[in-house]
Amino acid sequence: MNSGLWPKVGTTIPQSFTTQPTLWNTNSSISLCPLIQPQPDIGFFFVYRVPLNDLSRVPSIVKDHILEDVSTIITSGHFLKGPFTSALEENLSRRHAGASVTCVGNGTDALYLALASIGVGPGAQVATVANAGGYTSGATLRLGARPVMVDVDMTTAQMSVSSLEMALHMHPDIKAVVVTHLYGLVGEIEPISDLCSLRGVPLVEDCAQSFGAVVNGRPAGTFGDIATFSFYPTKNLGAFGDAGAVITSDVSLASRAASLAQYGWSHRYSVDLRNGTNSRIDEIQAAILLRLVPFLDNENRTRRNIVLAYHEALRGERRMIHSPDSSFVGHLAVLLTDSRDTDRSTLESSGVATGIHYPVIDTDQKAWEGYIDSTDLPATRHVQDRILTLPCFPGMTNGEIEHVVNALHGLV
């Protein structure tokens, strides 16, 4: 760990870490959550705990603006498909090379709508990975289609190009490929895009965890035929409720996605498309996201620097899944360790909250037995047994980051 990067508790964070504009008072040395733990010999004592995330840390200036916007919306009586939604869609379009944007109810709906828009239906096959929480598999099964599992790269935990190539060879009728930029890291998206183009298979980018990531000057979400986003509260751009978006530069797909999100209507009460649903963002969530999006790029840099600090603190074979460049936006700080249970116990005892994203891979989900083939996925299982999530969010204080770094130093 570079001793010049992280100051002692109570001092100012160096300029290399904090960037403007920023929402957070990261200068605070301590805002850890106190826990009282009993000890048999000495009674009770306080242990400070760094949370995995803390959604309550909303700066007052943002709260004030949001309350003003909410008041405006209530007064207007325009709660859906109003000016805030239109402004948000225009903002997101500008960030994604002018693509068409349809904001929807949540990220899982976005996946469903993207797949439905490209014609996935009963009996179709969709290539995806098994370690990304099951959201793509759930959306695929909801359409009556079947997921085809692709293994991951053991280093990045992202979809393996060679494994995808094999899946496309073994299953020539695959209707779509969904690549999830897991943990905020964009993997080998360019060769995956090239491979899908060569085979004539539509590519869906699941950008739920990678909003703001950029590869060779191109934002995540512009490499495939259609992309999906989640604005769940913990996401890099998170609402104060649920929301999502479907983004595409294909005019036909954009029209289908917008129609399917509104029951499949061509016009009011006239259903022209099957598999339509009701999925809309509300004006309040759109207003909140508009207030937060100007801070996204700097907060992504903050997340990336937090993960880099953890990486530099590690010893031995442990490492963080990350990249030092803009292809990584630090949605989650995921440690790979051969001694996960021991490390987790040590970190928790040191007051560092941990998690596992995700503890069950899709092929092992009980409800999906018989619907997903039990494919051999050696790299997926290798990674899944070793992942451990550490605290990482832009509102972390200097003291909290330093506390986690010191705890990582203590792993043996």
Same domain assignment for residues 50 and 85: no
Between the alpha carbon of residue 179 and those of residues 111, 188, 207, the distances in Å are 11, 10, 9
Local structure of 297: helix, strand or coil = helix
29: confidence class by pLDDT, cuts 50, 70, 90: very low
Between the alpha carbon of residue 72 and those of residues 81, 82, 208, 294, the distances in Å are 15, 12, 29, 21
Phi/psi at 205 (5° precision): -95, 120
pLDDT in tens, 87-131: 999 999 999 999 999 999 999 999 999 999 999 999 999 999 999
pLDDT, mean over the chain:
91
The answer on pLDDT for 36 being more than 50 is no
Is 359 part of any domain? yes
Is 162 part of any domain? yes
Is 288 part of any domain? yes
**Residue 363's domain spans which residues?**
33-55+296-409
Provide the whole-model pTM. 0.90
In 3D space, the residue among 130, 113, 108 whose CA is nearest the CA of residue 100 turns out to be: 113
Same domain assignment for residues 201 and 348: no
The answer on pLDDT for 297 being more than 50 is yes
Same domain assignment for residues 349 and 369: yes
The pLDDT of residue 373: 86
Is 10 part of any domain? no
Please tell me the distance from the alpha carbon of residue 348 to that of residue 165, in angstroms, as a whole number: 41
In 3D space, the residue among 320, 324, 410, 310 whose CA is nearest the CA of residue 6 turns out to be: 310
Contact 168, 190 (CB under 8 A): no
Same domain assignment for residues 246 and 271: yes
